[in-house]
Structure 1
Amino acid sequence: MERLGDDELICIFDKIDNHEDRKSFYQVSKNWLKVACIRLRELDISFPGILDDILPASPYIVKFTCLKPLSNTYLNLLAHSCPKLQYLNLEQDLDPEKEDCEAGHGVEHDDEVDLTERLLVRDVRFDSIVRSCKNLTYLDLGGCLSVTDESLKSLGASKSITKLILTGCMITDLGLEYLANGDLKNCLESLHLDECDRVSDVGFSHLKQMVILYHLVLSNCGVLNTDSGTLAISQIPNINTLHLLSSTNVTDISLSNIASTCKKLKFIYLLGCEAITGEGLRCFAHHPTLHCIKLYSCDNISWEDVELVVSTCPSLTIVGLSRRLKTPMPETGREAFNFGDKWCWIDWD
């Protein structure tokens, strides 16, 4: 009896609908595994040792995840075998002992890279990843404590990144200056700087050069932020979503700056900004685009302040409030309230 060829195996595989049966199919032999991989679009793997067999047979993979350290050899194999790759998730630490472990060299087709909590990332390795991912649009470096200002220098030259997450990174004002002075300012749409407590108002002042930026997260950024910092932030021309959670130095003056300057603002999150009072909230009265404002743990606000803002903002339909709101206040069991000719959803903390 003649051996089955690839065409026959593909026909057989295409007729198998059950997922477990398909797994049994490609466990039979390497040839059968090769056939199964032709249809593969996503790969989540914990044993890099079998990539020599899988990757060359998987030209249509678009999403790749590996939670074990990958050597440069495997990353090169991934780049050459999977030209349609769009999402690359390599969350675990690279092996610092191996000389061939400069992550990212040769990976030229990726759209997204997630390096969350990869604590051993070094500047040189980070630069290699950025240089190799020619179509990189999404980069998550959250928790990478070794990402520094020098790391951001190469990012500033990017012409493709649209979302950048730097949560908890050890960056300073100089790093934000690098980002804002390069080509990145013309493509970056979303920036997460939460828990970057080494950045001051001087660093935030550079962000107004980012003309495409519309989503900014500055929560838990320490005590360096003052009204001058929020004034600089409010001058970002297209900002429409702003997170300032637990920013203790955000005041009524800060809200006045934001409300009067950010005419495209739709969402603002002020949870835990305890210095805010009703005077600051009233600055948003008649705002043309505001859709949602969250004020949990902001206790120095009265129901009259809420009524004034909601009734005069044509797009405002969601308000988050503290249950310790100053009196007078309605029954907190209610969630939807009528304000003249409009309804607004009240979300109580």
Structure 2
Amino acid sequence: MTFLSDDCLVSIFQKLQNGTDRNSFGLTCRRWLHIQNISRRSLTLHFSYETTAYQSYMRYLPTLLNRFCHLSSVSIAGCTELPDSALLGLKNLKTSLRSLSLYCCFKITDEDCGIQALSRGCRLLNVLVVSCCRDVVGTGLQGCSQRLEYIEAECCMFTREGLLGAVGAGGLKYLNLSNPRCSMNIDGVALVLAPRLQFLNLRLCRFISNESIATISKACPLLEEWSLAVCHEIGALGWKEIGLNCCNLKVLHVNRCRNLCDRGLEALRDGCGRLRVLYMHGCNQVSRMGIEMFRLRRYDVEIRSEECVSIGPRIYDFFA
């Protein structure tokens, strides 16, 4: 087998479907172990509430990132004590890394060695998960590549500058800013820089205003799914803007929106020509008559009562 080229061995390794066979391949000799290492495309450190588990992750992460030099997806979810410096090893993946999850990595920041280093160094990054990273406000994403299309930032307190940094490259298609702690008004002006946005999750952003809704609806003409569940401050004017401007909207979530009334529902009914699914329950100002009139005029729209936490594509499929 010594006459086989590395490319041939890589091809053989990639055809092995069984995990046991792949592990056995690397045990044959040092050369075959090297082939196994360079052929690995994903690394997942499984979320654990045990302190000893994520301490081990922190200890071995630099070695793993150095060993597997062609990873396209990395998930370090749950390493609550992981410092910015631990991300330096990702610089070796600048030509291959496409998906990165830092879910619940509480110590990660936007500083030079943290998110900022990633956005500047990993220019092929397509998916970034920073949900529950308490110190990430988005400013580290300033100057990120247009290839960054999916940002999962649930429970992150993005500032206006941070949001501008996240969307500034103009390539964003998916953005999740859902936040039960959000006491501020999401600045719709920042999303003017995200004309390709298709999926926007603002669930629990209670104080988003009619003005921000109007700006987003005009600036993001490609929106297909939008969650505004529990966005209490949106009134008739906001719903009217959605009806007028969201011509490509197919799925809308309005669960528990206190200020959605018959007039607002009428605006959605008469606009949003491509709407096919409306998630709605707990809207106490919407009368039964208003719902029946909606169904009569828009028989092509299915009204569902369940409330969805996630929308759009399954982000974690990128880490399978």
TM range (shorter): 0.7 to 0.9
- Which structure's relative contact order is higher, taking Cα pairs within 8 Å and 6+ residues apart? 2
Question: Whole-Å Cα distance in 2 between the matches of residues 128 and 98 of structure 1?
Answer: 4
Q: Tell me the amino acid that sits aligned with residue 131 of structure 2.
A: T
> % of aligned pairs identical?
20
From 76, 79, 83, the counterpart of 1:66: 76
Given that 1:71 and 1:103 are in contact with CA atoms closer than 8 Å, whether structure 2 keeps it comes out as no
CA drift at 1:157: 2.1
How many residues get paired?
Answer: 286
C-alpha separation between the residues in 2 aligned to 1:22 and 1:199? Answer: 51
**Cα 1:173/1:266, change in 2 over 3 Å:** same
Q: Superposition pairs for residues 1-349 of structure 1, below 5 Å? A: 14=13, 18-20=18-20, 22-23=22-23, 34-45=34-45, 47-67=57-77, 68=79, 72=84, 74-81=86-93, 83-95=95-107, 101-105=113-117, 106-121=121-136, 123=137, 126-144=138-156, 146-168=157-179, 170=182, 172-173=184-185, 175-180=187-192, 183-184=193-194, 186-209=195-218, 210-222=220-232, 224-236=233-245, 237-281=247-291, 282-287=293-298, 290-295=300-305
Distance 1:18 1:155, change over 3 A: closer
Task: Judge conservation of contact 2:94–2:122 (CA < 8 Å) in 1.
Answer: no
C-alpha deviation, 1:137, in angstroms: 0.6
Root-mean-square deviation (CA, aligned residues, Å) is 3.6
1:163–1:235 Cα change, 3 Å: same
Map of 1:315 onto structure 2: none
- For 1:260 and 1:97, locate their aligned partners in 2 and report how far apart those are by CA, in whole Å: 45
More strand, by proportion: 1
Q: Deviations over 1:161-189 (max 9, x none)?
A: 10000001637446212213xx31x2111
Judge conservation of contact 2:279–2:303 (CA < 8 Å) in 1: yes
CA deviation profile, 1:259-284 (whole Å, cap 9, x unmatched): 11111111111121132223212134
**Structure 2 counterpart of 1:129, which letter?**
L
Unpaired segments ≥5 residues, structure 1: 298-349
| Cα displacement string for residues 190-213 of structure 1 (whole angstroms, at most 9, x for unaligned residues) | 111111112122221212212111
Segment of structure 1 superposing worse, 67-76 or 202-211: 67-76
Q: Distance in 2 between matches of 1:99 and 1:254?
A: 43
Q: Separation in 1 of the partners of 2:82 and 2:183?
A: 27
2:174 and 2:200 in contact (8 A); partners too: yes
Tell me the amino acid that sits aligned with residue 231 of structure 1: K
1:156 and 1:138, CA in 2 relative to 1: closer, same or farther beyond 3 A?
Answer: closer
Code of the aligned partner of 1:234: G
Q: 1: CA distance between counterparts of 2:200 and 2:140?
A: 21
1:135 shift after superposition: 1.0
User: Residues 284 and 99 of structure 1: is their aligned pair in 2 closer, same or farther, counting only changes over 3 Å?
Assistant: closer
Greater gyration radius: 1
